[in-house]
């Protein structure tokens, strides 16, 4: 990077800011960060993007509800990918040149370095540049050895976790070693936490249930957070199914909980009609309400309101 470019620490700080804005509607703040990145990261390198994880944060903004934010994110991604691809092509070209006219050709099995930015963004996935040499393309996968644990069951469980974590790796730019390291950490945490150091029924059940949660097509964020170590393996293996669920599923659970609360009001809870409340959906003031003690006795009662016009329900304390 040039002397005018942002430092690695500055990039990490911007990455954290963008992550906080992932579900925010504050478009101006996001665009301000994009402006800093555009002027302060004119010639990013693969190492910088990997170490700062700035690519991951920008990549997530491509699906932002604000079209301007989404377009700016796509533009940054496109520019960075072009720059990094060019660097990779130059590096490949330089490494393929023979040192002398009598130099021996590289063995047929020789591989160039990994085909994607390790902890970098899904948007900066480095598809291999066409090569005129006989070397293996940069996108070739690394051979993974699953027979490292000296236990047949644990090796099988490790492979199961790896297969769950590798889903969608091309879209994120993850390399095989990065995924494998995450799988090894998760398997070890399950062995220590659920298995208490041994291959038990609890160990097997946790591996099975966790792999199902990880490979859920409706929950890609969980996979990303595990592979990119946003969730540590020790924390992951203690999370409940509700905590592992996707945001969509969490909303469904909350809505179901709300419905159950309304249905469980009991015979003693009498509804009364009032125009004191305005429906947030249809803006009418034709409502019914009742109150229930849902918390400790020294806390105020919870009021449950139903709009008689559109049947919208809400509660407040």
Q: Examine residue 238 and state whether it is found in any structural domain, yes or no.
A: yes
In this prediction, residue 111 has a pLDDT band, given cuts at 50, 70 and 90, of very low
Q: What is the CATH number of the domain that holds 304?
A: 2.20.25.10
CA-CA distance, 52 to 45, in Å (whole number)? 11
Answer yes or no: is pLDDT of 233 > 70. yes
Q: Which residues contact 196 (CB under 8 A, 6 or more apart)?
A: none
Classify residue 23 as exposed, middle or buried by CB count within 10 Å of its CB (0-12, 13-18, 19+): exposed
Domain co-membership, 289 together with 241 = no
Maximum average pLDDT range among 15-29, 127-141, 205-219, 269-283: 205-219
Q: Examine residue 140 and state whether it is found in any structural domain, yes or no.
A: no
Q: Examine residue 255 and state whether it is found in any structural domain, yes or no.
A: no
Domain co-membership, 156 together with 72 = no
Q: Examine residue 143 and state whether it is found in any structural domain, yes or no.
A: no
Domain co-membership, 116 together with 177 = no
Q: Examine residue 294 and state whether it is found in any structural domain, yes or no.
A: yes
Domain co-membership, 188 together with 286 = no
Tell me the Ramachandran region of residue 311: left when phi exceeds 0, alpha when psi lies from -120 to 50, beta otherwise: left
What is the number of structural domains in the chain? 3
Domain co-membership, 14 together with 84 = yes
- Give residue 128's pLDDT: 35
Q: Are strands 313-316 and 287-292 parallel, antiparallel or unpaired?
A: unpaired
| Core vs surface per residue 284-305: b (16+ CB within 10 A) or e | eebbebbbbeeeeeeeeeeebb
Q: Examine residue 256 and state whether it is found in any structural domain, yes or no.
A: no
Maximum average pLDDT range among 60-69, 177-186, 297-306: 177-186
Domain co-membership, 185 together with 157 = yes
Q: Which range marks the domain in which residue 52 is found?
A: 8-96+110-124
Name the DSSP letter for residue 220.
H
Domain co-membership, 287 together with 221 = no
> Which tens digits make up the pLDDT trace of 162-190?
999 999 888 888 888 899 999 999 999 99
Q: Which residues contact 314 (CB under 8 A, 6 or more apart)?
A: 280, 304, 305
Q: Which residues pair with 315 in a beta bridge?
A: 304
Q: Examine residue 142 and state whether it is found in any structural domain, yes or no.
A: no
Domain co-membership, 196 together with 271 = no
End-to-end CA distance of the chain: 54
pTM, two decimal places: 0.40
Domain co-membership, 217 together with 286 = no
Q: What is the CATH number of the domain that holds 63?
A: 1.20.930
Q: Examine residue 65 and state whether it is found in any structural domain, yes or no.
A: yes
Domain co-membership, 76 together with 170 = no
Domain co-membership, 273 together with 216 = no
Answer yes or no: is pLDDT of 98 > 60. no
Domain co-membership, 235 together with 310 = no
């Amino acid at each position: 990077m040039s002397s005018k470019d942002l430092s690695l620490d500055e990039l990490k700080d911007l990455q954290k800011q963008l992550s906080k804005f992932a579900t925010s509607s504050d478009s101006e703040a996001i665009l301000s960060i994009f402006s800093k990145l555009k002027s302060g990261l004119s010639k990013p390198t693969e190492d910088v993007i990997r170490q700062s994880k700035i690519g991951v944060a920008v990549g997530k903004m491509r699906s932002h509800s604000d079209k301007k934010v989404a377009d700016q994110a796509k533009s940054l991604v496109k520019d960075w990918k072009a720059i990094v691809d060019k660097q990779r092509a130059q590096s490949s070209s330089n490494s393929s040149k023979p040192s002398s006219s009598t130099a021996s050709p590289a063995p047929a099995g020789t591989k160039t370095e990994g085909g994607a930015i390790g902890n970098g963004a899904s948007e900066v996935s480095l598809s291999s540049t066409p090569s005129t040499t006989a070397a293996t393309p940069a996108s070739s996968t690394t051979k993974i050895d699953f027979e490292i644990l000296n236990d047949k069951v644990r090796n099988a469980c490790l492979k199961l976790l790896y297969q769950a974590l590798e889903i969608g790796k091309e879209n994120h730019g993850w390399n095989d070693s990065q995924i494998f390291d995450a799988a090894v950490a998760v398997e070890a945490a399950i062995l220590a936490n659920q298995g208490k150091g041994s291959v038990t029924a609890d160990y097997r059940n946790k591996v099975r249930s966790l792999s199902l949660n990880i490979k859920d097509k409706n929950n890609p964020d969980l996979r990303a957070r595990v592979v990119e170590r946003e969730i540590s393996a020790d924390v992951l293996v203690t999370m409940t199914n509700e905590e592992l669920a996707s945001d969509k599923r969490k909303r469904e659970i909350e809505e179901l909980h709300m419905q159950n609360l309304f249905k469980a009001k009991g015979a003693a809870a009498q509804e009364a009609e009032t125009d004191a409340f305005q429906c947030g959906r249809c803006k009418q003031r034709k409502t019914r309400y009742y109150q229930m003690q849902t918390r400790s006795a020294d806390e105020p009662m919870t009021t449950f309101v139903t709009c008689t016009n559109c049947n919208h329900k809400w509660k407040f304390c």
